[in-house]
């Protein structure tokens, strides 16, 4: 099928067909967005990220209404930490480390309260959840084979944080041949200048990593 939707995007128009497009919502977890979790333990002001939640929800709802494949990722480790490299566990000087107890259970451990998605972005029963040990969603996960089996060629991205897990995953996807668009107001960073730089570098050089556009451009995409 032809790419029958046209989105006004940077650096130029992004064409896609919902049938061959997935939305990938990156790591909209309490551990990054709410106080007392992993993001806060690294010294970040997590309040910045909350504003992106309703926008991310609108993106998901548009994609759901258009029958698209919906993928949610979560950065989370096994309880025994066997999938967490020591380099990641020991990095920096956080107040609490991955696996330690927090007000939302053990930090960044799959199944714990903090590792779960914020309420507004709870996956529907028919949607895909990818648990990933790294920043990129392709590393050590089934995402690549799943997208291949579903005949996906195009990806829309939202989630947190823009320059860490979102950018890493978008670069991984770009190298695998996917046409990628980042929804600018459905993503956020603890550092506003890093978000803007990431958007700038993705769409520089004729779209070296992909496209970016605000949610309004998706909602008003022309057929």
Does the active-site annotation cover 27?
Answer: yes
- Shortest Å distance, C-beta 160 to ligand TIU: 6
Residue with smaller CB distance to ligand TIU, 14 or 32? 32
- Shortest Å distance, C-beta 1 to ligand TIU: 33
Q: Which of 84, 116, 135, 165 is catalytic?
A: 165
Can you give the binding site for ligand TIU, defined by CB under 6 A? 27, 32, 42, 75, 135, 160-161, 164-165, 190
Residue with smaller CB distance to ligand TIU, 108 or 152? 108
Does the active-site annotation cover 45?
Answer: no
Residues contacting 13, CB < 8 A, separation 6+: 6, 7
Residue with smaller CB distance to ligand TIU, 41 or 212? 41
- Shortest Å distance, C-beta 205 to ligand TIU: 24
Does the active-site annotation cover 78?
Answer: no
Residues in the chain: 223
Q: Which of 27, 63, 116, 195 is catalytic?
A: 27
Residues with a catalytic annotation lie at 27, 132, 165
């Amino acid at each position: 099928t032809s790419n029958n939707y046209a989105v006004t995007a940077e650096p130029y128009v992004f064409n896609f067909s919902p049938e061959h497009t997935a939305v990938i919502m990156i790591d909209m977890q309490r551990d990054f967005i709410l106080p007392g979790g992993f993001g806060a333990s690294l010294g970040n002001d997590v309040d910045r990220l909350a504003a992106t939640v309703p926008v991310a929800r609108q993106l998901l709802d548009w994609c759901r209404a258009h029958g698209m494949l919906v993928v949610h990722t979560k950065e989370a480790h096994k309880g025994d930490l066997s999938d967490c490299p020591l380099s990641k566990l020991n990095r920096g000087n956080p107040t609490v480390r991955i696996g330690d107890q927090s007000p939302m259970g053990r930090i960044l451990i799959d199944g714990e309260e903090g590792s779960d998605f914020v309420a507004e972005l709870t996956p529907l029963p028919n949607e895909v959840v990818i648990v990933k040990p790294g920043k990129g969603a392709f590393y050590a996960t089934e995402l690549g084979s799943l997208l291949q089996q579903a005949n996906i060629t195009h990806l829309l991205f939202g989630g947190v944080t823009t320059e860490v897990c979102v950018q890493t995953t978008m670069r991984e996807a770009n190298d695998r041949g996917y046409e990628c668009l980042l929804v600018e107001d459905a993503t956020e960073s603890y550092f506003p200048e890093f978000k803007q730089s990431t958007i700038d570098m993705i769409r520089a050089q004729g779209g070296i990593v992909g496209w970016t556009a605000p949610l309004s451009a998706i909602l008003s995409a022309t057929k």
